[in-house]
Amino acid sequence: MQQNMLLPLLLTLGAGMATGIGSTIAFLARRTNRRLLSFSLGLSGGVMVYVSFMELMRQADGALAAVWGERLGSLWCVASFFLGMLLIGVIDRLVPTVENPHEAHAVEEMRHRPRNPKLMRMGLMAALAITIHNFPEGIATFASAMENPTLGVAIAVAIAIHNIPEGIAVSVPIYYATGSRMKAFGWSLLSGLAEPLGALTAWLVLAPVMTPTVMGCLLAGVAGIMVFISIDELLPAAREYGEAHTAIYGVAAGMAVMAASLLLLK
C-alpha cells in the first residue's frame, strides 16, 4: 500500500511546486508570453473538465451502482459531485479578498522594483488564499492517482499549469514589498506545498474507512472540485491573459489530447 501511495504523493508534490516555476518565470523572463499562457490555462481547463465528466464521474457512478444499484448509485454520484462544488465554493468565499490570487499578473511588473512594505500584506494574503485553494486540489490529484495513475498524471499536469500564474501572483507583491527574490520565491513555493499536505490529510483521514462507496463519492466530489476550479479560475484567467479565442482553442486542445490519451491507453 505504501508503494501505491508513492506515485500519488510525488504527483501532488510536483503539481504544488509549480508555483515555484511561476515565481522563477517572474524573475527571469523579460516579458510575459500572454498567448502561450492563455492557451496553456485553457488547455488545463479542458483536461480537467473532460476528465471530470468522461472518466471520474463514469468511474464513480460505476463504483456506487455496484454497491447501491443503478438508480441510488447515480443519486449518490450526483450528490457527491455537487458537494464537491459546494466545498470549493465555500472555501472560495472564505479566503481573504484583499488581493485576488487569480488576477492576471505580468512578469513585466517585476522591472519597476518599488519598495512598498504595505504590499507585504497583499502578498501574504495572496499566498494564504492560494494555500487554502491548493489543499482540495491536492486531494483531487491524490485521489485520482490512487484510483487510476494515468488520470492522476493528467490531472497533476493540468493543476501544475494552473499553479504557474498563481506563483507569479504571490511573487509580484512580496517582491514589491521586500525587494527580496528569495522571500518572494519562498512564499510562492510554500503556498504550493499545501497540495501534498492536502493529499496526506486525505490519506490519513480516509484510508481507515476507504470502501467502494467512499471511493466512488470521493471521485465524484473530486470531479465537482475540478469543474468549479476550471470555470471559476482557469477559464477567466485564460481570457485575461490573451484573446478569448486563444483560451477556447486551448480548452478544445486539452479535451482532444485527453480523449486521445485515454483511448490509446485503454
**Positions in the chain short of pLDDT 50:** 1-3, 100
Q: What was the pLDDT predicted at 21?
A: 86
Q: What pTM was computed for the model?
A: 0.78
Closest of 114, 106, 132, 155 to residue 201, by C-alpha: 132
Q: What was the pLDDT predicted at 2?
A: 47
What is the count of structural domains for the chain?
Answer: 1
Closest of 41, 171, 45, 161 to residue 106, by C-alpha: 171
Q: What was the pLDDT predicted at 152?
A: 86
Cell reading at 191 = 503556498
Cell reading at 240 = 485575461
Q: Cα separations (Å) of 63 from 71, 219, 248?
A: 12, 10, 33
Domain span at 83? 2-265
Closest of 162, 167, 168 to residue 137, by C-alpha: 162
> What end-to-end distance do the CA atoms of the chain give, in Å?
24
Q: What was the pLDDT predicted at 144?
A: 83
Q: What was the pLDDT predicted at 130?
A: 74
| Burial class of residue 241 in the structure, from the number of CB atoms within 10 Å of its CB (0-12 exposed, 13-18 middle, 19+ buried) | buried
